[in-house]
Amino acid sequence: MNSIKGLVSRIERFSIHDGTGIRTLVVMKGCPLKCRWCSAPYTQQTTTQILHIKSCCNHCGQCITACPEQAVHRLDEGTGIQTDRCVCTGCGNCVDSCPEQAREVSGQYYTPEEMFEQVQKYAVFYRRSNGGITVGGGEPLLQSEFLKEFLSLCQSHFIHTAIETTAFAPWEKIAPLLKHLEMIFVDLKQMNDKMHFQWTGVSNGRILENIRKISEKIPLVLRIPVIPGFNDSAQNISESAEFAKTLGNRFMGIELLPYHQLGIHTYEELDREYTLKNTIPPTDDHMAYLLNIMRSYGIEARIGG
């Protein structure tokens, strides 16, 4: 059994938006970016975390008694349970003690072999639909050794492989993985480096360089999460299209992904504030406008994944 282990947030069966056909999406934990609009904040940290589903909590206090670190306590007399995230180790004792299933552990370790056992059960659906597996996150490149071993196992059993990535990683982490991939999806968040840093916490220089290199090697799809006030201007979409036209012959096109608020509740489950709660998703008309701009540059583009 392989000693390498990967920390996985969740496994989504029968995904149809993360590559061709029916797929299994493996969502890894850990991400070097801190995007303001992130809909899966539980994938950002590289450790297990406890989610508190407050709508299910009956404030019985059993989680308080079960916590060995005394990280769980009441906000006030008789109501409200809070977790001290600086003290919590993610051990899961509070999860096991909760009678209402109001607490969950986000994050489970798997060896590459264990993860392969999870996905190969559905191989018949992959074959019949031209599907396969996609690894996303978080940022899967943070766990590149696990990723390489897992993808190699999938390929050896003729399962189509893909990853979704920010491409914010040293090229030395990316290059060895390419021979184990049939497709790669990379986020192109914002062409302006200053704004990219302000909204994600990192520069886009390394990302753009890696995109150029990848586009010479394997089929590449760019994804632009369209975030109002951040990257939904005609100027940014035009600059993105101009950049795309410089890419290599393995570049396949761009997907425009409209901003949504489906992940807001997960911030509450982590006792975090969602800073874009007043941001309104782009209208269908605005998305169509941006799509037409992209296509005017001769780029193969569509709305949605």
Q: What is the CATH number of the domain that holds 53?
A: 3.30.70.20
pLDDT score of 256: 98
pLDDT score of 283: 97
Average pLDDT over residues 122-136: 94
The DSSP letter of residue 280 is: P
Q: Burial level of 294, CB count in 10 A (0-12/13-18/19+)? A: buried
Q: What is the CATH number of the domain that holds 245?
A: 3.20.20.70
pLDDT score of 80: 80
Provide the number of structural domains found in the chain. 2
CB burial string 40-70: b at 16+ within 10 A, e below: bbbbbbbebbbbbbeeebeeeebbbebbeee
Half-sphere exposure of 129 (CA within 13 A, CB side): 17
Token pair recorded at residue 132: 């396969």
Distance CA 20, CA 274 (A): 32
User: Is residue 18 situated within a structural domain?
Assistant: yes
Token pair recorded at residue 212: 């150029």
User: Is residue 205 situated within a structural domain?
Assistant: yes
User: Is residue 1 situated within a structural domain?
Assistant: no
Do 54 and 98 have their domain in common? yes
pLDDT score of 2: 61
Q: 241-260: per-residue pLDDT in tens?
A: 999 999 999 999 999 999 99
Average pLDDT over residues 162-185: 97
User: Is residue 146 situated within a structural domain?
Assistant: yes
pLDDT score of 305: 76
Domain coverage including residue 260: 6-45+112-303
Do 172 and 56 have their domain in common? no
Do 153 and 287 have their domain in common? yes
Q: 65-120: per-residue pLDDT in tens?
A: 999 999 998 876 656 888 899 999 999 999 999 999 999 999 999 999 999 999 99
Q: Is 60 exceeded by the pLDDT of residue 213?
A: yes
Q: What is the pTM of this model?
A: 0.92
pLDDT score of 148: 97
**Which residues, at least 6 apart from 270, have a Cβ–Cβ distance to it below 8 Å?**
41, 42, 49, 51, 52, 85
Residue with tokens 């589903």: 53
pLDDT score of 109: 96
Helix (H, G, I), strand (E, B) or coil at 236: helix
